[in-house]
Structure 1
Amino acid sequence: MIDASKPLRVLVPEGSSTSAREAITILGLAGHHVELCDPSRWCLARTSRFVRKFHHCPGLRTDPAGFLRFVERLLASQHFDVLLPTHEQGFLFARVGAQLTSRVALALPDFAAYRTVHGKAGFSRLLDQLGLPRPPTRIVRSAEELRAAVRFPSVVKTSVGTASRGIWFVRDAGDLNRALGDLESGADFADEVLVQDFIAGTTEKAQSMFCRGKMLGFHAYQQVAAGIGGGEAIKQSVSRPAIRGYIETIGAHLGWHGALSVDVIMPLDSDTPLLIDCNPRLVEPMNAYRAGTDLVDLLLRVSRGEIPASLGESRAGVRTHLAIQALLGSASRDGTRRDIIRECGRIVMGRGAYRDSTEELTPVRLDWLSAVPLAMTAVLLLGSPRIATRLARGGFGAHLLDRASIRVIEREDFLRDASTGRPGEGRDP
C-alpha cells in the first residue's frame, strides 16, 4: 500500500460517473488530496467531503480540445502527482500520450491498444483473434444486413456506447423495427453495429490492473439485483479463475498498462463464461476494495512508475449495494410510492437482499455529504416515480464520448488544433 503519511495530490477529471464517485471515496479514506473537474457543477462526486476543490471544465463530448487545454493548464498551474481517469477521458489522454505524461503520472496503454477495446466491434474481433469465448456475433453496416443477421432473441449494440446506451433487446419483429428506427434516426449505421445471440445467464463483471502487460490485480463480482438500465443495484464478489486467465491473455497481448474491465455472461446451460463487452478503465472499484483488492491503490502505484507485487485473490461472498441504483430500479419497474418506501426500509434496516451488505456509492457513515444525492433521489422519486428514467439519463452527460467527438479526437490535426485553440475546435469555460 502507498504510505498514507505521504498523501498524493490526485486530479480526477470527471465526477459524474459512479466509478469516479467510488474511486474518490477510496482515495479519501487513504488520506490523499483529491481535486475534481467536471462539466456539470452538480455532478455526483462533488458532494463528497473528500473532494478538496472542484474545477468547472468544458465537456469531453461537446469540446474535447477545450477539455484537454483546461486539464493541461490545470496541471501547469498546480502540482498534481497523479492524473486518474475513471471514465472515457482515457480515450483522449491515450491519444495525446507523452503530452500529459511529461507533466503528471498517468497509467494508460498506447492509443492503438486503447482503440482496439474501446469499440465493441474491435473487442469482438480481438476475442476472435485470441480464441476467447463470446456469444455468437455478427457485425453489420446497414439495416438490410441487420435484418439478415438477426436471430430472435438477440441483442443489438452500437459499436460505441457506454452506460447502457446504444443497446436493444430484440425478441421479435416489433422489437427489431423499433431498434432499426432508433439506429437509422441516430445515423448509427455510419459506424458498425453488432448483433449478438441472446444468452440467458447471470451478468458478471471482472476488473483488473496491469503494468506493461503483466496482471497485478483481479476481482470479479456478479449481479444480485439490477438497478435501472441494467446496472448493478446489489453485487457480490465471486472467484473466477477462468475469467482471470482470459483477461490475462488480453492484457498480455495488448501490453496493457492501467485498469481494464470486462463484462461477462455466465450461461445457465454451460460452465464456460462468455465475454461480451470491455471497458478500458476503472469500473466501480468499491466491491473489490471491500473484498480486499484495492485497485485504486494499484492504479496510483502503476501511474507513478512502480511495479507492485501481484495481489492475491479477492474474498468471495462480499456483498455491496448502490442505494441510488436500487431506488431508481424499483421506480423504473412500475414501482409505486409504497414500493419505494419499502425499498428504502429494506436498505436502511439491512433486510432481504441487503442483509450483510454495505453501501458502496453513497457511504453516509464515512462521508456525510454523500447523503445529499441519495436524499434528493429518494425525495424526487417519492414525488413522482415516473421520473426515474429522466434521473438516470442525468448520468449520460458531457463527460461521455459519442461518435462525433471520437472522430474529432482521432483526426490527425487534433493535437495541433487542441494546442492552438482554433475557432470551433474548443472553448474555455
Structure 2
Amino acid sequence: MPDPAKPLRVLVSEGSSTSAREAITILGLSGHHVEICDPSPWCLARFSRFVRKFHRCPGLRNDPAGYLAFIEQRLADGRFDVLLPTHEQGFLFARAKQRMEGRAGLALPSFASYRTAHSKAGFSRLLDRLILPQPPTQIVTSAQQLREAVRFPAVVKTSVGTASRGIWFIRNADDLESALHDLGAGDAFADEILVQDLVAGTTEKAQSAFCRGQMVGFHAYRQVAAGVGGGEAIKQSVRRPVVRAHLEKVGQALDWHGALSVDYIMPDDGGAPLLIDCNPRLVEPMNAYRAGVDLVGLLLLISLAETPTALPESREGVLTHLAMQALLGCAARGGTRRDIARECLRLFANSGPYAGSTEELTPVEADWISAVPLAVTAALLLASPKSAVQLARGGFGAHLLDLKSIRMIEEEGFG
C-alpha cells in the first residue's frame, strides 16, 4: 500500500461531501495531519477527531475568486504538503493551476481535460470519439429539440450537475412536461442538455487514480441497498475488467493526472457495461480502502510528483455501508418511526443486511465524534420521517458549483 515516508500536512478542499468525510478517515488512520476548508461551520467532516483545524471559507458557488484567494492564503500560512480536492473544487484549481504551482502538491490534469470530464456533454462526446459504449444519447439546447429527442423511457440530464442533481427520469408525457418546467425555471437551456435512452439494468461505480495518463489504481462496486437521492446505503466490491479497460482508455486519452471515477450500467439483458457519467474526483473511497486499494494514499504520492507502483486488483465481495444514507433512504421510501427505529437497531447490531459489513461514513469505533451527525440524523428522522429529503439536500451547498460559477471560472483572465 502507498505509505509516504513521513506524516504529511494535508489541506482538504471541503468538508461537506461524503467523499471528503471518507477521505479524511483514511488520511487520519494513516497518521497524516488533516485540516479542512468549508463555508459551513457544521459541515460533516468537522465532526471528526482526525481534523486538526477547520477553516471557514467563502463558498465556491457564490465566490470562486474569494474561495481561491482563501485557499492560497492557507497554503502560504500553513506549510501544507498536499492540497487534496475532494469535490468540484478541482475545476477551479485546474483553471488556476499556474497560480497553485509550488504552493503544495496537487494532482490534477490540464483544465481542458478536467472540463471535458466534468461536463456530461463533453464526456459523451469523448466516449463517441473513443468508440466506448454508452446508452443512445442526443445533446440538445432547446425545449423543442428535447421534445423531439425524447423516446420513452428516457433520462434527461443537465450537462453540469453532481450528487444526482439535474437528472429527470422520463417515462411518459407528464414526466416530460414536469422536466421541461424545471429546466426552463432553472435556465438550464443556457447550456447543453443530454437525452439518453433509459436502459434497464444496475448502476455501478468505478474509481481510479492516474499518474500522467497511466492508471495506477482501480476499484469498482455495486449497490446492494439504496439510500436517498440515488446514493448507496450498502455497497459490495466487484471485479469489472471490461470497465477497467474502458476507464483506462478514457484516462489515457485525457492524459489524466489524479482521481477519476465513472458510473456505468450493467444491462439486465446481459449486454456490455454502458458508461453513463464521469466524476473527475474521488467518490467515497472507503469501500476501495477496505477492499485493499488505498486511492487516497495513491493521490498523496501522485500529488508529491512521485510515480507509484500500480496496485493489484481490489478484493471482491467486500461489504460496506453508510448508516446515515440507510436511515435517510428508509425514511424517504415512506418508512415510519417504527421502521426507522428497527433500522437503527439493525445498524447497531450489524444484523440483517448489515451483517459482515463495516461502516464507511461515520466510523464511530475509530472516530467517536462521528457519532454526533449520525445521532442527530436518527433523532430528526424519528421526530419527522418526512424530513428525509430536506436533510439530504443539506449536502448540496455552497461548496459546489453551478452554471453561473462555472462561467465565472471559465472567463478569460480568471486564474
User: Aligning the two structures, in what range does the TM-score lie when normalised by the shorter sequence?
Assistant: over 0.9
Other-structure match for 2:148: 148
Residue 350 of structure 1: how far off its partner (Å) = 1.7
Other-structure match for 1:332: 332
1:10-409 equivalences under 5 Å are 10-409=10-409
Q: Distance in 2 between the 1:5 and 1:243 partners? A: 33
Q: Distance in 1 between the 2:5 and 2:361 partners? A: 26
- Equivalent position amino acid for 1:378 in 2: A
Q: Distance in 1 between the 2:202 and 2:345 partners? A: 27
- Equivalent position amino acid for 2:282 in 1: L
Residue 271 of structure 1: how far off its partner (Å) = 3.3
CA offsets 1:14-44 (integer angstroms, 9 cap, x no match) = 0000000000000000000000110000000
Residue 5 of structure 1: how far off its partner (Å) = 6.4
Q: Distance in 2 between the 1:200 and 1:229 partners? A: 18
User: CA, structure 1 residues 365+11, in 2 after alignment: closer, same or farther (shift >3 Å)?
Assistant: same
The SS at the match of 1:259 is strand
Q: Distance in 1 between the 2:393 and 2:335 partners? A: 18
Residue 270 of structure 1: how far off its partner (Å) = 2.4
Q: Distance in 2 between the 1:48 and 1:76 partners? A: 25
- Equivalent position amino acid for 1:307 in 2: T
Q: Distance in 1 between the 2:303 and 2:70 partners? A: 21
CA offsets 1:210-244 (integer angstroms, 9 cap, x no match) = 00000000000001111100011110000000000
User: CA, structure 1 residues 302+50, in 2 after alignment: closer, same or farther (shift >3 Å)?
Assistant: same
Q: Distance in 1 between the 2:347 and 2:153 partners? A: 34
Q: Distance in 2 between the 1:77 and 1:345 partners? A: 46
The SS at the match of 1:391 is helix
Residue 64 of structure 1: how far off its partner (Å) = 0.2
- Equivalent position amino acid for 1:267 in 2: P
Report runs of 4+ in structure 1 exceeding 2 Å deviation: 1-5
Question: Does the 8 Å CA contact 1:216/1:308 hold for their aligned counterparts?
Answer: yes
Q: Distance in 2 between the 1:155 and 1:374 partners? A: 33
Unaligned runs of 5+ in 1: 416-429
Question: Does the 8 Å CA contact 1:224/1:234 hold for their aligned counterparts?
Answer: yes
Q: Distance in 2 between the 1:83 and 1:32 partners? A: 13
Question: Does the 8 Å CA contact 2:132/2:246 hold for their aligned counterparts?
Answer: yes
Residue 391 of structure 1: how far off its partner (Å) = 0.4
The SS at the match of 1:36 is strand
The SS at the match of 1:376 is helix
- Equivalent position amino acid for 1:369 in 2: I
Q: Distance in 2 between the 1:166 and 1:93 partners? A: 24
The SS at the match of 1:251 is helix
Bigger drift between 348-357 and 14-23 goes to 348-357
Bigger drift between 282-291 and 97-106 goes to 97-106
Question: Does the 8 Å CA contact 1:259/1:280 hold for their aligned counterparts?
Answer: yes
The SS at the match of 2:134 is coil
User: CA, structure 1 residues 3+165, in 2 after alignment: closer, same or farther (shift >3 Å)?
Assistant: closer
Question: Does the 8 Å CA contact 2:347/2:354 hold for their aligned counterparts?
Answer: yes
What is the total number of aligned residue pairs between the two structures? 415
Residue 98 of structure 1: how far off its partner (Å) = 2.2
CA offsets 1:156-208 (integer angstroms, 9 cap, x no match) = 10000001110001110000000000000001011001111111111100000
Q: Distance in 2 between the 1:286 and 1:266 partners? A: 22
Q: Distance in 2 between the 1:32 and 1:134 partners? A: 39
Q: Distance in 1 between the 2:257 and 2:338 partners? A: 48
Q: Distance in 2 between the 1:29 and 1:271 partners? A: 40
Question: Does the 8 Å CA contact 2:96/2:414 hold for their aligned counterparts?
Answer: no
Q: Distance in 1 between the 2:107 and 2:95 partners? A: 13
CA offsets 1:229-284 (integer angstroms, 9 cap, x no match) = 00111100000000000000000111000000000110000230000000000110
- Equivalent position amino acid for 1:323 in 2: A
Residue 349 of structure 1: how far off its partner (Å) = 1.5
Residue 398 of structure 1: how far off its partner (Å) = 0.3
User: CA, structure 1 residues 232+246, in 2 after alignment: closer, same or farther (shift >3 Å)?
Assistant: same
- Equivalent position amino acid for 1:157 in 2: K
Residue 101 of structure 1: how far off its partner (Å) = 2.0
Q: Distance in 1 between the 2:313 and 2:216 partners? A: 11
- Equivalent position amino acid for 2:280 in 1: P
Residue 4 of structure 1: how far off its partner (Å) = 6.5
Q: Distance in 2 between the 1:51 and 1:320 partners? A: 23
Q: Distance in 1 between the 2:199 and 2:352 partners? A: 28
User: CA, structure 1 residues 130+2, in 2 after alignment: closer, same or farther (shift >3 Å)?
Assistant: closer
Aligned-CA RMSD value: 0.8
